[in-house]
Structure 1
């Protein structure tokens, strides 16, 4: 494992070592090398101690990690599996390493079987991210891939060069080259990291390299700068020191802190913990949030990305984890925001290799599925620390990589591209709600997206709070389909303009509950309507009647398989035959109106006038009744004939 990655993953091995020390009476020689990041020496020492039968389970886990860090993936996967079979020492971060080891040792069957056995330990967001990216990478994204012009910077050295950052018209970066550094960092066999500045040429190449002189002088690490133009300040990490010397916690660990240097002004230490390292600060001028990577115990894997609220860079809150949509069982580092997209690097097990660069759309306070940028930005090696800015008609960006063909351990690469990197996606999110009352949510509804060829692209289920979310690669047209037993089915086609307008917004889906739209009357299921009355001897539909019949139109639209019978009755006044003809004419008038307003004629099986055949009270012929009692017999019903089989 190269020196850069040690600093990226927040001295992970050292943190693990601190935890392990409490379970051991003394450190072995392997422990000493392991906690000093001398992984090959740790392997040699641990293997010798193993042959003597003196390794604890924790030390054997350290040995597995040392195999992993020295790229011996066959031995790493074998050791991790032995530990998994015998004990519970492994956490999700070690699961990630094991899955990476199995992938890199080409043990596809072993990876699949192991992932199946442990998948319940991962958050659902991680599994969704994995499925989305696996489909994307397996199917290929050639049709959506951009044309990149990628070039190795002439200013790279034989040592480690990484973490580029724009500084007005210049470029800042971190390097292990030994200029102006008095001491050497033994694990990397190079100088402590220092920050350099350079001029950016129109080609994207850099010239006039020199040490960045705006920072407080130290003999130890200064790295991963980010320049905020709004604050005219540089955020960066540096080794914890006291009186000019390295400061260690009670377990002998030296960690990294985050500082802010106002250009030409004051210096301020923002985040410091002797037992926790902080990495890759990124300050968002728009929100005032300071993002960074760290490995706190409550994280999702190795290093996670967090943010704190600030007041002009002054920390005003505790660190807030970005959550399982971004953070995984692996290590997440190097946050960067460009045009409402969140870029970062991760070594989660379903990537192309080591560290890969991902892009996630920013959605209010949340994030979309992180999408692997794919080749040629990502390779089987470590690719991380992307930055981008507008440059003429296109974009100019930089990132670091230890891919083959470079000048040193890690090199900085520039790239030019016409459009923003990252596959364009479409996100549908919101709640499934009851059409009768938007405040009433509908859980466990099936929500799916379909292309215009009738192929389902994605499917999910609304959660206990009615919330749903689907994200897919961009399509110019889509159909959203939402259904649930005894609810109406929602189907809507979206065109290009509607899809663009939908992004970064909420789309709540109204579905009607069948039981809300029907009721029991006179021993049969009918469409729920308020009572309405025709004028005396009239068959004309009043506005009041039309308003109630609109409920029937909506009902059939919601439940298109419903079979109806229109029934109309009158009171006992008037001649019997006259009343039959009147009610039949009224039923026919209702049918005609419904058909003219969208109800298929095939849904209306019968249109019947019953005259005065079914009097509901004692107001029969010759009996004196008040008008209100007579009106109880003047009614029209829309009967649902197939109520008992409608949902079979």
Structure 2
């Protein structure tokens, strides 16, 4: 029987309501006490007398789900989904999980295609990525050497945490100071410490006495060596009595204690709310953030991952949800950060089953890459959670996690693993803005494509209203990136491994020129927009001043490779008419040769014509006195765009 790990945590860790709920039926009371088999039987008895409400039917579906009866669960979920809008995102996830367990892939794809606003865009992208990845038998699957530790018991053991060369973990194995916790039938949780051997096995676990004792839950420890302190979860209590909110609920808090074997083993609450439980604390020394799992009103489904800012471990902010790239319609727990990667567990529908372990990377803008399922090397159709890892030098990496997979000693066991490199598929993240060059002005609705080295399309996205884009794919050492939009320049660039390592996860701007910014109407013609330039009197040499402007012409052609240009060179009326004609042609030819020497195809230049003084723009013709600046207006060069409507 497969359990959803979060529900197991509720049974073992989360507080229960001890008051009589007057509006609940007997079946409801069984359900809310986690007695799912009894709840199912009682709901069926009640159905014989009168129909169940939709809320009760969903409870019945949940009870089937928690007991692994996915066929009965999915019948109820899908029936309610078709007839009513009561189903919310976390139950939508359970419905999809149930469909996956009963091999109804077509139904999953159909529901995802409709989506109906229940799932975020980020979650849909995560789902597509991981479903493709898990179905591809990727060569990037890590070779885990997984083993059960000797320190496991016949009870529940989970939530490993390193403490120097030892391992802290949570366990429901009883001892004389721990009472039995009714919903689980096992002892209240406590924290144990075992020695890590040279082969990674954990032996000789004993009750950890470095923090104050409690008759109630102590669990999910995290030891921060730089502080010499332990973050952990504890029941809300005072003077050995549980504390309850106005609804009779006792919840779990996060506490902090200094690890000590001496008499000074005091602790204090860091995060405490009598109506909300906190799970799995993790302190990130680099940022001073304290991460944890909780179910607040702004959660995306069930339990989400949050963090608070701290200053010398004092809480300095409200809880901040890490967002929909990580949190989903399911439950997310057990955050752990290592080498700029966040590992966590989720029971979202596109995993292998129950809770799976995922890896995501922090990006430069404090966002996350797509969470990647660590795959069948470590995940299973059962619940896998509480992942930790550290570098053991020449031995590679040593880590631990918990699972309720078959073959263990108890309901949940701790498993160790050895691996030669950090697990998880490496992904390539390109994000930033499509914008005008040397500007922060974004270009919306541009198509951004990633192609492989053979020019085959891998993925494409459309930039948003601010020109922002984000695209993520499994890692490749070489890619081609292209961007297109009507009446804009075409962007194309091949990027190799070294540069990809630098720009992945960083802001990468794609510059595109809008055609209207390059072209202006002049003399009833559409011409390239340039600063005025002039040749030296009687000469056709390309000076530095002229080459600067001609480089702009070359850039415009390269931005719009389909452009067709005609070069027109004109002189003023001063001097001999025939001489002016020859000079203008020499200048037109010199310009053409300069442009072609820059690598522009000859087919782009449809003509290079010298018109001498035959097309003056004012009345400064032969025999008319004009000031120099008026004559200068006639000495000009135009680059006429002949196919503007086709670009």
Q: Name the TM-score class by shorter chain.
A: over 0.9
Aligned partners of 2:376, 2:637: CA distance in 1, in Å? 68
Query: What residue is the counterpart of 1:40 in the other structure?
Result: 37
Shift of 1:374: 0.2
How far 1:14 moved relative to its partner?
8.2
Aligned to 1:322: 322
Q: What TM-score, normalized to structure 1? A: 0.96
Q: Which residue of 1 aligns with 2:386?
A: 385
Question: Would the aligned equivalents of 1:181 and 1:191 in 2 still touch at CA under 8 Å?
Answer: no
Q: Aligned ranges for residues 285-364 of structure 1 at < 5 Å? A: 285-364=285-364
Say if 1:440 and 1:5 are closer, same or farther in 2 by CA, change over 3 A. closer
Matched, 1:202 2:198: yes
**Partners of 2:118 and 2:491 in 1: CA distance:** 35
Q: Deviations over 1:200-242 (max 9, x none)?
A: 0010101121001012211111111100111111111111223
Task: Name the SS for the 2:350 alignment partner.
Answer: coil
Measure how far apart 1:7 and its partner are: 5.5
Cα distance between partner residues in 2 of 1:180 and 1:5? 28
Corresponding position of 1:71: 68
Encode CA deviations 1:303-361: one digit per residue, 9 max, x unaligned: 00000001121111100000000000000000000111110000011111110000001
Q: Is the 8 A contact 1:11 1:255 kept in 2?
A: no
For residues 573-592 of structure 1, what are the structure 2 equivalents within 5 Å? 573-592=574-593
Alignment coverage as a number of residue pairs: 639
Counterpart for residue 367 of structure 2: 366
Tell me, yes or no, if structure 1 residue 634 matches structure 2 residue 630. Answer: no
CA distance in 2, matches of 1:560, 1:5: 58
Please say which of residues 49-58 and 507-516 is displaced more in the overlay. Answer: 49-58
Residue 156 (structure 1) aligns with: 152
Deviations 1:66-91 (A, max 9, x none): 11111111111111122223322211
Instruction: Give the TM-score, by structure 2 length.
Output: 0.96
Structure 1 residues 549-583: Cα deviation after superposition (integer angstroms, max 9, x where no partner): 11101001100110110000111122222211111
**C-alpha distance in 2, partners of 1:384/1:3?**
11
In 2, distance between residues paired with 1:138 and 1:13?
A: 35
CA contact (8 A) 1:402 1:411 kept: yes
Q: Deviations over 1:349-383 (max 9, x none)?
A: 11111100000011131111000000120111111
How far off is 1:114 after superposition?
2.5
Alignment of 1:419-568 (within 5 A): 419-435=421-437, 437-568=438-569
- 5+ residue gaps, structure 2, are none
Shift in Å at residue 491 of structure 1?
A: 0.9
Return the offset for 1:298: 1.2
Cα distance in 2, alignment partners of residues 115 and 636 from structure 1? 59
Out of 39, 46, 51, the residue aligned to residue 49 of structure 1 is: 46
Give the whole-Å Cα distance in 1 for the aligned partners of 2:421 and 2:434.
Answer: 35
The question of whether the paired residues in 2 share the 8 Å contact of 1:12 and 1:295 is answered with: no
- TM-aligned CA deviation for residue 44 of structure 1: 1.3
Residue 403 of structure 1: aligned partner = 405
The CA deviation string for residues 444-464 of structure 1, in whole angstroms up to 9 with x for no partner, is 111111110111112111112
Counterpart for residue 140 of structure 2: 144
Root-mean-square deviation over aligned CA pairs: 1.9
Counterpart of 2:224 (choices 228, 243, 247) is 228
> Are 1:2 and 1:188, in contact at CA under 8 Å, matched by a contact in 2?
no
Equivalent residue for 2:165?
Answer: 169
Question: Which secondary structure does the structure 1 equivalent of 2:488 belong to?
Answer: coil
Q: Distance in 1 between matches of 2:501 and 2:107?
A: 42
Decide whether the 8 Å contact of 2:570 with 2:612 is kept in 1: yes
Separation in 1, partners of 2:472, 2:109: 24
Alignment partner, residue 275 of structure 2: 275
Specify the SS of the correspondent of 2:72. helix
**Gaps in structure 1 of 5+ consecutive residues:** none
1:331 touches 1:346 (CA, 8 Å); kept in 2?
Answer: yes
